[in-house]
A and B are shown apart, each in its own frame.
Chain A
Amino acid sequence: MRKDNPWVTPILLALLVALFALSFVLAPRPGSADEEAFGGTDAAVTAQLEEAGHEPWFTPIFEPGSGEIESGLFALQAALGAGVLGYALGNLRGRKVEREARDKAPAGS
């Protein structure tokens, strides 16, 4: 494996932030004041379809009461995922430490 360059991770993170910022800079401003900037693409397409006269024939069984509750549930989804991901990656790292300790032990004693 190539020598691990300590700059790779920070550079990748900087690129991520740059891409995020770029979207804000390049995005067109909303046409009117009541038009929400950065609405979801699904809502945009739904609005297009409704304008063309297509109505949904089935409505969601459960709808989060407001945007606040919805964003909370999305946060919950991310939190559950991040928790499990952290547990799995942490465990993998722990296994590696253990493996290395085991590999070293016979040589040391």
Chain B
Amino acid sequence: MHIAEGFLPVAHCVAWGIASAPFVIHGARAVIQESTKNPESKLLLAAAGAFTFVLSAIKLPSVTGSSSHPTGTGAGAILFKPPVMAFLGTVVLLFQALLLAHGGLTTLGANVFSMAIAGPWAAYAVWRLVRVGKGPMELGVFLAMAVADLVTYCVTSLQLALAYPDPNLLGALAKFAGVFALTQIPLALMEGLVGVLLFRFLVKVAAPELARRGLINTAQKEAAHA
């Protein structure tokens, strides 16, 4: 889960805020551009945002005896590229910081960086890698979604280790990753499975849209049509 309110030193809050801001602004413009240039993709855009909204609200138990929640940012990163998710993820984090006292306003920059920037970019990289290697769509989706989830919490652990390098950076990283990243592994696998379910449905009902975005090839589109 996200870094709680007030638990990052002021300098770190400001630094992560500055690091995240350009991504979020660029992301907001990408969302506007996407919905004005391709009005027909508005539904998919809404689906991607809603998917993150649902998944990040569901806290699940994990093998470590702690619970955490998935992020759901991988789906949108595959569908619309990472910048769009920088914006949509920020909306989710703001909602949780303001209404649920989950995460926080002072730690928003850091949490945006892990969940809305690092996660989606990692997902997109994995997705491209699988597709370039001619791997099946399902594999790409599964790995991308799981990686988005895991990378988010590895970055969270790193952010905390940088703020509290006790006894040293590596030791702190191991300590925080032991809580965050370890707990997240089964959740990441679950998220990967949910992602495959979502994309299987999308291929069925929105094949032309997916083909236009270059996610499936036209042969698949024809087959889905037939």
Contacts and interface: CB of A to CB of B under 8 A. Distances in A.
Interface string A1-16: 1000000110011011
A48 B172 CA distance: 11
A13 to B, nearest CB: 8
B67 A38 contact: yes
A27 B187 CA distance: 14
Contacts of B51: 81, 85
A1 B220 contact: yes
Interface string B1-42: 111111100100000000000000000000000000000000
Given A8-B200, A73-B99, A88 B54 contact: no
A41 B1 contact: yes
B104 interface: yes
Interface in A1-45: 1, 8-9, 12-13, 15-16, 19-20, 22-24, 26-30, 37-45
Interface residues of B, number: 75
Contact of B224 (A1, A52, A91): A1
A62 B102 CA distance: 10
Interface size class of A (residues with CB under 8 A): 35 or more
30 contacts: A1-B219, A8-B200, A12-B193, A16-B190, A23-B61, A27-B64, A29-B65, A39-B67, A41-B67, A41-B68, A41-B179, A45-B160, A45-B179, A46-B7, A49-B164, A56-B6, A56-B7, A58-B5, A73-B99, A77-B56, A77-B57, A77-B99, A81-B51, A81-B53, A81-B55, A85-B46, A89-B47, A92-B43, A99-B208, A103-B225
Interface of A: 1, 8-9, 12-13, 15-16, 19-20, 22-24, 26-30, 37-46, 48-49, 52, 54, 56-64, 70, 73-75, 77-78, 80-85, 87-89, 91-93, 95-96, 99, 103
